[in-house]
Structure 1
Amino acid sequence: MNAHQTHQVDPNPADQNPVDQDSTDTDQGCFHCGLDVPVHSNFVTEISGKPRRMCCPGCQAVAQAIADGGLDNYYKHRTGEIRSPELRDQAIPEQLLAELALYNQPSIQKAFVTDSDDGTKHAALVIEGITCAACVWLLEHHIANFEGVNKISVNLTNHRASLNWDNDVIQLSDILSEIYRIGYQGHPYHPDKEEQMLATETRKATRRLGIAGVFCMQVMMLAVALYAGDTQGLEDHLVTFIRWASFALATPVVIYSARPFFEAAIRDIKTRHLTMDVPVSIAIGGAYLSSIWATITASGEVYYDSVTMFTFFLLIGRFLEMKARHRTGRAGNSLLNLLPASAIIISNGEEQMIPATDLNAGDRVLVKPGHTVPADGVILVGQSSIDESALTGEYLPVSKSAGDPIVGGTINVENPIQIEITQVGASTQLSAIVRLLERAHEEKPPVARAADKLAGYFVAAVLITALTVGITWWFIAPEHAFWITLSVLVVTCPCALSLATPTALTVATGTLRQNGLLVTRGHVLESLSRATHIIFDKTGTLTEGNLSLQQVVVLEDQDREQALTIACALEAHSEHPIAKAFHKQAQYLPAIKSAEITNHVGQGLEGCIDSKRYYLGKPRFASQHSNRVLDYCDAPDNHSQWLLLSSETGPIAWFGLTDPPRKQSQTTLAQLKAAGLQIEMLTGDSSAAVQQVASELGINKVIAGVTPEQKLQHIQQLQDSGARVIMVGDGINDIPVLAGAQTSIAMGSATDLAKTNADAVLISGELQRLPQALYLGRKTQAIIRQNLSWAIIYNLIALPLAATGMIAPYMAAIGMSASSLVVVGNALRLSKLSRINRVELPDTSIQTTES
């Protein structure tokens, strides 16, 4: 056996237990990071001759690399409780630098780093130590100043950072060490590990809150005796005893429960950047130290009750804010946690269970009823219903059979199926959705950036105001100066102002994702609330996109089967919804190969078969080389969408396709109209089917037969005239207009390129989600305005009251905590979609005429 070897632990402890039970390290949790080890974890690394338990593959990989590099001494320097190092602008220990350097290795980065198209790298990190918007500002501005860091965006709500850097200029370990150097701790983001970090944070917060609450009650009882003694008389030795007893009870609250405030304040002072923790720490520390002086000298007043009560109420506010943040964070984690830990592969006719992370493209996997699909694939054998609700928000299972694609993270409901894996790891649809969701959190709308900047200035204003109030009261009534200044510091802390915008945006974005609309850009909610026009593509957007070939009309003496075979060969490699109608027919026809296929976007296909050139698409395009150019008026009828197949010698056949409108599309459009939006259809199709769909759905303005360039031009003209446009599309021909519109939404069935260029993705494919998103966007903006207004009005009212001595310090603590809770509670109203009023639909019977 090697000096350092990785083991897999048998989950049944009765059969095997390689972990040294005498080691206290294994009892305390993960040997590497100290977090709790999940019950069924099977990650163990041998270090210094002993097997050590790990909580996740990331810790196992890093610990193995440390051991293989001969750096075992790193673990010998750790004693007592395993904690993140508390570094405050000082030299980082060599052991920590060695550990951070391991994150530069490609084998370790594979788990959390992705390569961008421009050659840069992207990583998602979790930052510990963030307390308010000013922390976010400091992290973003400090790290962004380093050469090679292209972008860093920190989300205040879930404490995650999105980092993009040039690996040829700066290493990831250098960035992480700078984060440590300014007083925070950065870790690679992993949903399982973050869950453990959230649990650890909750335990610590609960202990701090519990100690503050218990001792606060005891100090308050003693304070009642002192207050009563002032009026009824109390012997001096009893007063002295009560003061010292209060000191003993208040000390654990200040030293332990209030410790996070002091640590953050020291960090902020050293980095020369103000956050709300600075005035809070001054208030707590000043009151505590002055009370100690009064106790020792037996003179003046003691305010241990105010100190403990102030800390207790502050911690209550922070605790409830933390729980709300954890709730939104877990909503994002739930996506990646959809994938199972193991999978059953079929090899040589035998079933074998392996970790899902070991799957490769091409593996044959058995998915039993009730089990989760481990990765993207195609069904080979079997038929079953698949529950896709976690991804699409649609609670009804979808029927799938052999040949149908299936997405990792969905649940097999009825029968066992065998699938062939097509995509694993970062290439799966689930990973793509997570990346798009992270992109939305990276971007901050103008109102959020303004609030972040305002919070920093506000803290400076609070300190200046408190100093002014203190000096003024020193000349008016010196005995009250300190406590009035203390109240001003406490009551005006900008907690509510910092939380007003990010909490609302995060909750609303999570609500939309859970209901099938994935927001991928930060401005979407604001743009939805201000939209004036919504423009739809037709095929695959307003219609189901499941075109079916209904008629084949050959011209002159052409052979029907031969014409259909040629058309199927031309469409064989296209992913357009029209092409899929021919894919279904191709399995019943002889296979022939086509060459030199050219896609004329918005027009049709051109290809060469048996040295003869063919054209399939719009009539004018297909017949351009014929003696007579045909148009839709030459089609057999006006009830279908007609394509023409021609060769260089002349037209061959007409193909009639039909595509019914999506379910609830008529109701959806009526609700959008009722919300005040102008609706248009913008399509490259110029067939009679366009007017038929428009009439059925009640769309008055239709622009048909336009190219992608003309679509973009029309959108730009609308926007130049002051319109705020939402564009909804799904095809490659919609990419330019999706990128050019102020707000763009791609259908869930759209091409990957269309989804990438869109601001949101309608994963569920249900148009009914659009009016819901519109209403939620408007509600979000209203709640943000309410939160900001409340935060400003509260401070405008509380500041004069505190400055005039009408608010005691403990009352200020209650008011500040209550203000923050009002903001968070108001934002949580966005966690459910509002019920939309029913709209009466007009009679839209369709009139057709013979051509």
Structure 2
Amino acid sequence: MPDTPLKSRAADAAAGCYHCGEPVPASASWPVDIDGVIHSMCCPGCAAVAQTIVDLGQASYYRDRSAFAASANKADNADNVDNASLAPPALQLYDNADPRFARDEHTREATFAVEGIRCAACVWLIEHRLARLPGVEAAQLNVATERLYVRWRQDNCTPGDILAALHAIGYAAYPYDAGRHQVQQRQSARTLGRQLFVAGLAMMQVMMYVAPAYMSNGDGTLDPAMASLMQWASLLLTIPAVTYSALPFWRGALASLRARTLGMDVPVALGIAAAFGASVVATVRGTGAVWFDSVTMFIFLLLCSRWYELRARRRAGAALERLHHALPAAATLLAHYPDSRGATLVRAAALQVDDVIMIKPGEAVAADCVVVNGSTSLDLSLLSGESASVPKELGEALPGGAINAGAVVLARVTRRAQDSTMSNLVKLIDRAGQGKPRIALWADRVAAWFVAGLLLFATCAFGFWAWHDGNLLRAWPIAIAVLVVSCPCALSLATPTALAAATDRLLRGGVLVTGAQTLETLHRATHVVFDKTGTLTHGRPVLQATVPLGAMRASFCLQVAAALDAGSAHPLARAIVAAAVEAGGGRREDWHPDAIGEVPGCGIEAVLHNRRYRLRSAAFVAGIAGMALPPPSAGTAGAAAITQSTGLAPAHEVADGATPVYLGAEGQWLACLQLHDGLREDAQATVDYFRRAGKTVVLLSGDHDVLARRVGDQLGIGITVGGYLPEEKLAFVKQLQMKGAVVAMVGDGINDAAVLSAADVSFAMGEGAALAQAHADAVLLCGRLGAVVDSARVAARTMGVIRQNLAWASVYNVVAIPAAALGLLNPWLAGVGMAASSAVVVANALRLRRVGRET
């Protein structure tokens, strides 16, 4: 339909849809708040597009447009229609892709919230419909959080195409917003509750009318006129259940047929229609069997199952949703601080770096910031799983998303809300739903073929009994029972519900799972590879000594090293800067290195006061300082090892367990800074657990080989490799994989990003570099190395539960369907079996939320 001329706002609101201008149905409208004014839309598609435009902050589109948009109703009648006109240019540019996760400049990705998710059948249907859309590369719907991740090629697809495709099969979608999504979830829960109430009331009333017929058992004590009256009363009472309570099944089946697929609601809808239709015919004719009681009971029991499933899914994804709701929408800005403390309430998204905000007790920190006035304590339970409050003093950092559990403080913003710690975690959470384990994909494929096979089997059962007995009254209820008793949803629910419950359990324990295959692969891992610094050790080394190697004083060398390390996130760099601050009152502020560059795994090179310096490993510093060192003052095991690994003769003793950091200038060795980093308290228990589990434990470190071997020997690790550069670590892991090993990697820091990405499954310490976390399949937010053991235990339990669920669903269907085909189950009993089957699968999966910490 061509765009129509724009009318005035008042006339538009009265006469038609505010988005496309089409007439608004008298029975219902879909309201959208635009610039504080409620406008009616003609259909869910227009409402979804309009709400998306508003959510993106592009409401000016409606003020500036010169014509109505094309009608979304076109999507109902054509699959290949150009849907770009459904959304304005602002929406076409929509892209919430994190650059860390982007594939290339031609690819776009977004996370949508989808309204109307009823069960696993909806997930299957939506994913299959979008998979057929040109340009869509991936579409995964997380059944626990009801969020849809889509990746598409921008030259072949637009967000308008995606919204229209969903609208065509009966679903409305919009860019994910935690607040709106929560409101939508409450509304859908209330709707399902009303449908359940109507079905239950109808079932009880119908049972009252059919009870006399059951008790008389055809002995003639029930007057035929009275029996007919009761059948008509049962018919009238069943109509609300069929037309209102059963709406989810009708809509699901219709959506499947629109998408030219056989969804899991199809046999359910056919069963209801067959039983109700035959009962109506029997009632009108005054002869034949009626199953109004079976119809109402089946609808009620299946809705009970879906109600339980809905609560279970949302309970399983509760921890993930809490993180989405953790960041506040507003913040208290002190625009003229310190001249004035006048406060203004502003949107959190509007905060800029160096803004000063006030954080009141009980409020969430709106963005990453630093305390500039006052002191308090923070509740970091959402970020790390740790319930104890953490004190924060002047100058200390406050992560976005933490709760102020103490006094009022003023803080200066260091990173915008969109880039805060909590926002980055939310992005990692979104990545968790971008894919499915292999076992889940297998279950989906089986469920898809299952429906087609079931319909064929029901038809064969009907044909056989009609031929065998020559009586359709015998064949019809058997066919209905076959359709009703099957439970393809149990197959599709078996894996996602268990994974959602396990993910919730781990997140509450401080482990954020971001990869679809994480738990499945961890359970299969044959080798567990640990980094040393920041992983097996605390990653908070302390400077023990600064040993001059030339004429420069130790204090001067420390200040130079601190100037070079000031911008580095490496744990050794932080220790050197902290020691310089403590020793000299702070790093020299007038020392600003030029041409500074960091070589991962080697060190830092910079020009300071027209002189080139290098800092970190002996081999790296030797590149400008020369290969000859003054003769050693003493020979220790550490010194000898360094001599052997670098070919250099150290002029100093390296203390036991210390990590040496060398400083040199052009043609001169300046100093050796010795740092010590202690083992984590749970390192020994973690290594022992994996050894007892039959895994091969490997220590793979970039530190000197002698230091790595000392830690390996202390922990009883059989394979220890030290002195490896990032590319050598990567080659080591790939070599293990070529030999058939399934490698789990635990690391920390920017040097581990490549090997974390290459490992089959990887864990990044929560205090490590953001790049390492972005490449890992799980992040240990709690900072406990023992959380890897928790993850392994949960992974083992999860795979066990998934296998139990799949076995139960398979055995149930194999037993129940033939039993129904043999006439051993009537329709109402078949309905009980189907509802119970889904409930068993969900209840078994929820047990994973109670797996305790044992480390």
TM-score, with length taken from structure 2:
0.86
- 8 Å CA contact retained: 2:198, 2:245: yes
1:820 CA drift (Å): 0.3
Partner of 1:297: 285
Mapped partners of 2:451, 2:170: distance in 1: 19
Partner of 1:492: 486
480, 501, 511: which is aligned to 1:507?
A: 501
1:719 CA drift (Å): 1.9
Helix, strand or coil at the partner of 2:782: coil
342, 352, 367: which is aligned to 2:343?
A: 352
- 8 Å CA contact retained: 2:124, 2:263: no
346, 354, 368: which is aligned to 2:360?
A: 368
Partner of 1:405: 397
Letter matched to residue 653 of structure 2 = P
Letter matched to residue 306 of structure 1 = S
State which drifts further: 309-318 or 660-669. 660-669
1:150 CA drift (Å): 3.2
- 8 Å CA contact retained: 2:84, 2:92: no
1:31 CA drift (Å): 7.9
Mapped partners of 1:744, 1:237: distance in 2: 74
Mapped partners of 2:56, 2:713: distance in 1: 61
Q: Deviations over 1:718-775 (max 9, x none)?
A: 2222222111111222122112111111111222221111111111111121111001
1:259 CA drift (Å): 2.0
Letter matched to residue 153 of structure 1 = Q
652, 658, 664: which is aligned to 1:646?
A: 664
Mapped partners of 1:204, 1:86: distance in 2: 25
87, 91, 112: which is aligned to 1:125?
A: 112
Mapped partners of 1:134, 1:820: distance in 2: 12
Mapped partners of 1:706, 1:509: distance in 2: 34
Letter matched to residue 341 of structure 2 = E
Partner of 2:5: none
Helix, strand or coil at the partner of 2:433: helix
1:45 CA drift (Å): 3.6
Evaluate the alpha carbon distance shift between residue 63 and residue 415 of structure 1 in structure 2; reply closer, same or farther with a 3 A threshold. closer
Helix, strand or coil at the partner of 1:557: coil
Q: Deviations over 1:258-302 (max 9, x none)?
A: 122122222322322101211111111111111111111111111
Mapped partners of 1:760, 1:351: distance in 2: 43
Q: Deviations over 1:327-382 (max 9, x none)?
A: 23443221121122332222222231313233222210122333221111222233
What are the residue-to-residue correspondences of 1:2-13 with 2, within 5 Å? Answer: none
Mapped partners of 2:728, 2:203: distance in 1: 70
Evaluate the alpha carbon distance shift between residue 61 and residue 131 of structure 1 in structure 2; reply closer, same or farther with a 3 A threshold. closer
- 8 Å CA contact retained: 2:368, 2:400: yes
Partner of 2:385: 393
Partner of 1:224: 211
- 8 Å CA contact retained: 1:513, 1:519: yes
Evaluate the alpha carbon distance shift between residue 179 and residue 370 of structure 1 in structure 2; reply closer, same or farther with a 3 A threshold. closer
Structure 2 residues without counterparts, runs of 5 or longer: 1-7, 11-23, 41-49, 631-638, 644-649
- 8 Å CA contact retained: 2:365, 2:403: yes
What are the residue-to-residue correspondences of 1:802-841 with 2, within 5 Å? Answer: 802-836=820-854
- Answering whether residue 750 of structure 2 is matched by residue 732 of structure 1, we say yes
1:168 CA drift (Å): 4.4
Letter matched to residue 550 of structure 1 = Q
TM-score, with length taken from structure 1:
0.87
Letter matched to residue 230 of structure 2 = I
575, 579, 589: which is aligned to 1:581?
A: 575
What are the residue-to-residue correspondences of 1:318-467 with 2, within 5 Å? Answer: 318-348=306-336, 349-355=340-346, 356-467=348-459
Evaluate the alpha carbon distance shift between residue 806 and residue 439 of structure 1 in structure 2; reply closer, same or farther with a 3 A threshold. same
Evaluate the alpha carbon distance shift between residue 103 and residue 259 of structure 1 in structure 2; reply closer, same or farther with a 3 A threshold. farther
Q: Deviations over 1:580-629 (max 9, x none)?
A: 11222444353423233343332322333333333322233323543525
Mapped partners of 2:766, 2:611: distance in 1: 38
1:127 CA drift (Å): 2.3
Evaluate the alpha carbon distance shift between residue 306 and residue 86 of structure 1 in structure 2; reply closer, same or farther with a 3 A threshold. farther
**Superposition CA RMSD, Å:** 3.2
Helix, strand or coil at the partner of 1:662: coil
Q: Deviations over 1:389-444 (max 9, x none)?
A: 11110112223333332211101222332211122243222122112112121111
State which drifts further: 320-329 or 219-228. 320-329
1:794 CA drift (Å): 0.4
Letter matched to residue 637 of structure 1 = V
- 8 Å CA contact retained: 1:88, 1:270: no
- Answering whether residue 536 of structure 2 is matched by residue 545 of structure 1, we say no
Helix, strand or coil at the partner of 2:569: coil
- 8 Å CA contact retained: 1:526, 1:781: yes
Partner of 2:3: none
Letter matched to residue 411 of structure 2 = I
Mapped partners of 1:675, 1:542: distance in 2: 19
- Answering whether residue 631 of structure 2 is matched by residue 636 of structure 1, we say no
1:132 CA drift (Å): 4.8
Evaluate the alpha carbon distance shift between residue 361 and residue 598 of structure 1 in structure 2; reply closer, same or farther with a 3 A threshold. closer
Aligned length: 791
Partner of 1:764: 782
Partner of 1:188: 175
State which drifts further: 300-309 or 143-152. 143-152
- 8 Å CA contact retained: 2:594, 2:606: yes
Helix, strand or coil at the partner of 2:151: strand
1:205 CA drift (Å): 0.7
Partner of 1:39: none
Helix, strand or coil at the partner of 2:196: helix
- Answering whether residue 471 of structure 2 is matched by residue 481 of structure 1, we say no
**Percentage identity across paired residues of the two chains:** 36
Partner of 1:68: 63
- 8 Å CA contact retained: 1:601, 1:733: yes
Evaluate the alpha carbon distance shift between residue 146 and residue 808 of structure 1 in structure 2; reply closer, same or farther with a 3 A threshold. closer
134, 142, 149: which is aligned to 2:136?
A: 149
Mapped partners of 2:377, 2:29: distance in 1: 40
Mapped partners of 1:32, 1:308: distance in 2: 33
Letter matched to residue 560 of structure 1 = A
Mapped partners of 1:134, 1:224: distance in 2: 35
Evaluate the alpha carbon distance shift between residue 540 and residue 241 of structure 1 in structure 2; reply closer, same or farther with a 3 A threshold. same
Evaluate the alpha carbon distance shift between residue 542 and residue 407 of structure 1 in structure 2; reply closer, same or farther with a 3 A threshold. same
- Answering whether residue 235 of structure 2 is matched by residue 243 of structure 1, we say no
1:825 CA drift (Å): 0.5
Mapped partners of 2:459, 2:75: distance in 1: 27
Letter matched to residue 570 of structure 2 = H
Mapped partners of 1:580, 1:744: distance in 2: 25
